[in-house]
Amino acid sequence: MTSSPFLNQNELGLISLFHSHLGPFTVLGGIAAKHAMMYLNPKRARQITCVVETVPKQPFLCVLDGIQVISFCTMGKGNLIFNPLEENKINLTLKFETETKKIVFKLKNIQELLDKAKDIKNLEKLANRINMGRIDDLFDIERG
């Protein structure tokens, strides 16, 4: 049995349009944001906050675009917060919360993903493969 994509074609199209291409880290941001929105169930966009902790360079920063498109959290509204990590601390943590619930995503197998993403002509193919995977294979998830 094959799994169905987490993000639908419309969502992938919006992410691609916003970011100018479809890449693995934008899709990871979109997947986490969609899962968070389903779990937290905010009634309005301002009821959810997202804190991104990662190194301040590409491709890690690309998750911000996927998050913005799917969750409507933005830096301009102040509900998307970026906490930069030191460059030698390769890590990606996404924390979404409302007043009553939170969910935290920690990316697994970062180095393996970076190695796969080095082949720039296959970024969209890798992004689509990530979208077809299981979220528990992509992230360690803590709910509270």
Query: How far is Cα of residue 58 from the mean position of the Cα atoms in its chain?
Result: 14
Q: Is residue 112 part of a domain?
A: yes
Q: Inform me whether the pLDDT recorded for 116 exceeds 90.
A: no
List the Cα angle 110/104/139 in 5-degree steps. 35
Nearest Cα to Cα of residue 86 among 53, 52, 51, 55: 55
pLDDT value of residue 121: 73
Q: What are the pLDDT digits (tens) for 70-110?
A: 999 999 999 999 999 998 888 999 999 999 999 999 999 99
CATH number of the domain that residue 124 is part of: 3.30.1330.130
pLDDT value of residue 2: 52
Q: What are the pLDDT digits (tens) for 10-60?
A: 999 999 999 999 999 999 999 999 999 999 999 998 999 999 999 999 999
Q: Is residue 118 part of a domain?
A: yes
Domain region containing 135: 9-143
In this structure, are residues 15 and 48 in contact, taking their beta carbons and an 8 Å threshold?
no
pLDDT band at 120 (very low <50, low <70, confident <90, very high): low
Q: Inform me whether the pLDDT recorded for 66 exceeds 60.
A: yes
Q: Could you give the CA distance from residue 143 to residue 102 in angstroms, rounded to a whole number?
A: 6
Q: How many domains is the chain partitioned into structurally?
A: 1
